[in-house]
Amino acid sequence: MKAAVLYSAGDIRVEEKPIPQPKSGEVLIKIHACGVCGTDDALNKGEYPANYPVIIGHEFSGEIIEVGESVTAFKVGDRVTVDPNRTCHKCYFCRSGLEHLCDNLQSMGVHIDGADAEYCVMLESNIYKIGDAISYEEAAFCEPLACAIHGTDLAKIKVGDAVLIIGAGGMGNLITQCVKNSGASTIIVSEPIAKRRDLALSNGATHVVDPLNTNLLTEIKKIRPMGMDVVFEVAGISREQAACPSYTRKGGTIVFFGCSPKDKFIQINPFDINENEQRILGSFNNQFATGRAVDMLVNKKIRVDNLISHRFALDNYLDVFSVFGTKDSVKLMVLMD
Ligand SMILES: [Zn+2]
Ligand SMILES: [Zn+2]
C-alpha cells in the first residue's frame, strides 16, 4: 500500500509499505479521507516528538474490509471513523477516568502508524460507525471535533456566556460552532485572515476582529467592558497566550488549546491571576467525545463541508506543507481514492 512516512523532521516520504494485518480484536480499514492537523505540521517542523519512522495522519474515516478474530460489533462494509488514541487501561489515569492523559498513550500518526495511507488496522474499541448520512470527508472531522468538544466541556460554557476564540482555522471554526451550540450569546473571533473571519461569521461568531489592523483588547472592551467569560487560544501564538488574562473577566476561564512548540515559554503576571481568580486550563486530546462528535455531524449540528479549502491525493502528500497555514487555507484533506 501507499503511505506517507515521517522519517524525521522535514523528511516525509510517500512510499510502498505492506498492508497491515488485523490481530484479534482489530479490524482492517480501507481509508478514504484523512484531514491535516496542526499536529502534523508541528511533526513535520520537528516541534512535536514522534517515534520515527511512523506513518503520519490521525483524522480519518474509511470502510472496514476485514475483521480480526473476536471482533463482534463491526462487520465488513461498515463505514467508520475512530478515536486514534490507544490507551493502556492500566495506569493511574486510565483507572481514574482520564484515559486521554494515559501515561502510555499511543497516538496514531505520532507513536504508532497513522492514516495518511491506503489502509490501517484499528482496535474494535476505538471505532465508531458513521452510517450513511455523512460523507467520508465530513467523518474525517470527527477527531478534531472531538477535541473541540472536549475543550468546550473543560471550559464549562454556560448559556449566555461571552466567549473569545483566538484563531479561526479549522479548529477555531469547530470550537466556534461548539460554543454556539452550548448557548454562548456573544462569540468574538480574532483572526488576521479575511476569508477565515468570513467563515467564522457563517459558523456562529457574533463579532470578528482583525488583530493585525485593530487592537483586540480595545475591541473586546467595546463589546464586553468587563472582559470575556471564557477565552480560547487556538492559534498557539505566545504573544496572544500571554495577553489572555487581559481579555478575560475576573473569575473567567482561559483555555490553552493551540499546539505550542515544546520549548516556548510565556510571561504571565501571577498577581493578576490571583487577584482576579482566573483559571488557566490546557485542553489536549479528547475524552469520551468521539461518539458525540459523530452525533453532532450526523444530526447536522456542526457544519464542516465549508471548512475544506484544499484536497490532495496521497501521492502528492508533500504539497500539504506548502499550503498549510497560508492565506487561502483552512482545512486540508488528503483523499485516498
Ligand atoms: Zn488532529
Ligand atoms: Zn493508561
Which pLDDT score, from 0 to 100, does residue 48 have? 87
Say yes or no: 313 and 224 in one domain: no
Distance 84 CA to ligand 2 centre (A): 15
Say yes or no: 179 and 111 in one domain: no
Which pLDDT score, from 0 to 100, does residue 249 have? 98
Say yes or no: 152 and 119 in one domain: no
Distance 106 CA to ligand 2 centre (A): 10
- pLDDT above 90 covers a percentage of the chain that reads 94
**Distance from first CA to last CA of the chain, Å, rounded?**
13
Which pLDDT score, from 0 to 100, does residue 178 have? 98
Judge whether residue 337 has pLDDT over 90.
no
- Please name which ligand lies nearest the alpha carbon of 146: 1
Distance 125 CA to ligand 2 centre (A): 15
Give domain status of residue 158, yes or no: yes
Give domain status of residue 288, yes or no: no
Give domain status of residue 293, yes or no: no
CA angle 71, 77, 79 (to 5 degrees): 95
Say yes or no: 122 and 214 in one domain: no
Residue 81 structural domain: 2-141+304-335
Say yes or no: 160 and 119 in one domain: no
Which pLDDT score, from 0 to 100, does residue 262 have? 81
Distance 5 CA to ligand 2 centre (A): 26
Mean pLDDT, residues 176-196 = 97
- Please name which ligand lies nearest the alpha carbon of 143: 1
Give domain status of residue 295, yes or no: no
Say yes or no: 209 and 309 in one domain: no
Say yes or no: 61 and 88 in one domain: yes
Give domain status of residue 317, yes or no: yes
Distance 94 CA to ligand 2 centre (A): 4
Judge whether residue 83 has pLDDT over 90.
yes
- pLDDT above 70 covers a percentage of the chain that reads 100
Distance 36 CA to ligand 1 centre (A): 7
Say yes or no: 320 and 269 in one domain: no
Minimum mean pLDDT among 161-170, 186-195, 253-262: which range?
Answer: 253-262
Say yes or no: 247 and 167 in one domain: yes
Give domain status of residue 199, yes or no: yes
Give domain status of residue 108, yes or no: yes
Quick: pLDDT tens for 122-174.
999 999 999 999 999 999 999 999 999 999 999 999 999 999 999 999 999 99
Q: Label residue 261 by pLDDT band (50, 70, 90).
A: confident
Q: Label residue 238 by pLDDT band (50, 70, 90).
A: very high
254 burial type by CB count under 10 A (0-12 exposed, 13-18 middle, 19+ buried): buried
Distance 37 CA to ligand 1 centre (A): 4
Q: What is the CATH number of the domain that holds 104?
A: 3.90.180.10
Average pLDDT across the chain, whole number: 96
Which residues have a beta carbon within 5 Å of ligand 1, which is an ion? 37, 59
Q: What is the CATH number of the domain that holds 218?
A: 3.40.50.720
Say yes or no: 7 and 132 in one domain: yes
Say yes or no: 173 and 79 in one domain: no
Give domain status of residue 28, yes or no: yes
Which pLDDT score, from 0 to 100, does residue 263 have? 86
Instruction: At 306, give phi and psi (nearest 5°).
Output: -80, -5
Say yes or no: 177 and 93 in one domain: no
Which pLDDT score, from 0 to 100, does residue 303 have? 96
Mean pLDDT, residues 191-198 = 96
Quick: pLDDT tens for 224-234.
999 999 999 99
Q: Specify the number of domains making up the chain.
A: 2
**For 49-87, b where at least 16 C-beta lie within 10 A, e where not — what string?**
ebeebbbbbbbbbbbbebbbeebeebeeebbbbbbbbbb
Are the beta carbons of 35 and 141 closer than 8 angstroms?
yes
Distance 312 CA to ligand 1 centre (A): 17
